[in-house]
Structure 1
Amino acid sequence: MLLVSQVMFLLLCVMESVRTTSVSPSLNQPSLTRVRIIEVGDDYDEETSKTTATPQSPGVTTSRVVRRPCYYDPCAVQTIPCEKISAQTGCLCPGLTGPEERPEPPELREVKLDGSGKVLVHWCAPRSTVTHYEVTLSGENKPLVFKENLRKGAIPELKVGETVCVAARNQVGISEKSCKRYEPPQPNPVALSAGIIAGSVGFLLLLLVLAIVLWKRRTCRKGRMGDAEGLGNPSYTTEHCDEENK
């Protein structure tokens, strides 16, 4: 009887050991961890964030969310503020210094004559908070004021050789000036060469026509003199000359 009980106890131990080792291996797998990666762009004031799941086992997908920079050209007229575009599309606006800091100077690109005869000034905005732009001419203290979204302005009665300056202003103060001297427009060398060639050809054609007219008149005079002496040219009569002169 004792032997039977010992055998039964041994069988129970073996069955318990087998049940423990047959547990699903999925319970022993490590859990997934979520890693948050923050990327900061050089020219933009908000974070470009990426949220990704880093799997410890194969077969797990990765999710990623990326915010793109807004299209912003500092040299073009801003018809729609970047903040409004960001609110609609979720893009990132470029970083600007706040209204409590003095703005950086704008970049004066060019001063040129446009098709209407006015001198046009073109500048690029600084990466600063700006309330308006001030354009001044050499020898004048009163500036021309342009709105903060503008990048071009017409300057009336600007003389060749005068200096044009543009500065940005906000509540703190005005920036340093960016200046250029207005130079006369340079002629297009291709158009100039074409004009010279066309003028030369026209002048040569005019000389050729004049030479033909003078030659015909001279021939008519010789024919008339021959008629007066009785030696007229039968192939070129004075009647033919009279018709040509008409």
Structure 2
Amino acid sequence: MLLVSQVMSLLLLLLCVMELVCATSVTPSVHQPSLTRVRIIEVDDDYDEENSKTTHTPQSPGVTTSRVIRRPCDYDPCVVQATPCDKISAETGCLCPGLTGPEERPEAPELREVKLDRSGEVFVHWCAPRSIVTHYEVSLKDGSKQLVFSEYLRNGSLPGVKVGEMVCVAAGNKAGLSEKSCARYEPPQPDQAAVSAGIIAGCVGFLLLLLVLAVVLWRRRTCRKERMGDAEGLGNPSYTNDGAL
């Protein structure tokens, strides 16, 4: 009987131990803090700083905006023009190179060239200023020999200019004349190519002359030797070795 009671006590103790083990294996999951998953997103730092500084204006859906870029006019201020730049800008919407208004005096034109032309007059070439111009005045610095040219022109001829005189050009509109742009008329310089060609031609002609002279002298010497040989070969027919005729 005592043995049976001991066995029962051992069984109860084993059951208690098993329940305790099961309880300890389950409860830690209840008391442990919940795990938090962190999502890492990589961001590319390679971007254009200028684009990052650009702010975009929110637009209403269905609305499209367009931006018009104005380009410089196809205009060369140093070439004769059929139409002034301000009129080209009004027709095409292009941008002229900083044109001032007609109520302001023009800037001084740029005098590019003063030289003698084929007609014997002084040829003057200038570039238009960045202003609205209605005409150009070309004259000597003292104001004499003044000629007026159209706003479309960029060159003209001034007669009777002496070497060393100052030739000037000024631009004008209804607000007045600009400052004068002047240059001194220098004597025409010889064309270097023509001078070189003349020197070469002179050298070639001199060499040809020497060659012809050498041929003539050689020919004369040859003819003289031939004549002397002929004279020695003829002899005197009245002369004999024994002295008799």
Q: TM-score, normalised by structure 2?
A: 0.61
SS in 1 for 2:111: strand
- Match for 1:218 among 221, 225, 232? 221
User: Aligned partners of 1:156, 1:231: CA distance in 2, in Å?
Assistant: 82
**Mapping 1:52-201, distance limit 5 Å:** 54-55=57-58, 63-115=66-118, 117-137=120-140, 141-201=144-204
Deviations 1:102-157 (A, max 9, x none): 22221111112345554311111122232211111256624011111111012234
Change (3 A) 1:105 1:119: same
SS in 1 for 2:221: helix
Change (3 A) 1:172 1:80: closer
Amino acid in the other structure paired with 2:146: P
User: Aligned partners of 1:190, 1:231: CA distance in 2, in Å?
Assistant: 62
SS in 2 for 1:94: coil
The answer to whether residue 212 in structure 2 is matched with residue 209 in structure 1 is yes
SS in 2 for 1:213: helix
User: Aligned partners of 2:198, 2:112: CA distance in 1, in Å?
Assistant: 31
SS in 2 for 1:135: strand
Of 203-212 and 91-100, the range deviating more from structure 2: 91-100
User: Aligned partners of 2:143, 2:59: CA distance in 1, in Å?
Assistant: 71
How far did residue 87 of structure 1 move?
4.1
SS in 2 for 1:161: coil
2:166·2:183 contact (CA, 8 Å) conserved in 1? yes
User: Aligned partners of 1:186, 1:55: CA distance in 2, in Å?
Assistant: 69
How far did residue 205 of structure 1 move?
1.7
Change (3 A) 1:139 1:220: farther
User: Aligned partners of 2:146, 2:228: CA distance in 1, in Å?
Assistant: 81
User: Aligned partners of 1:144, 1:80: CA distance in 2, in Å?
Assistant: 21
- Match for 2:230 among 227, 230, 242? 227
Q: Percent identity?
A: 78
How far did residue 219 of structure 1 move?
2.1
State the structure with more CA Rg. Answer: 2
Q: TM-score, normalised by structure 1?
A: 0.61
Amino acid in the other structure paired with 1:171: K
SS in 1 for 2:233: coil
How far did residue 180 of structure 1 move?
0.6
How many equivalent residue pairs? 179
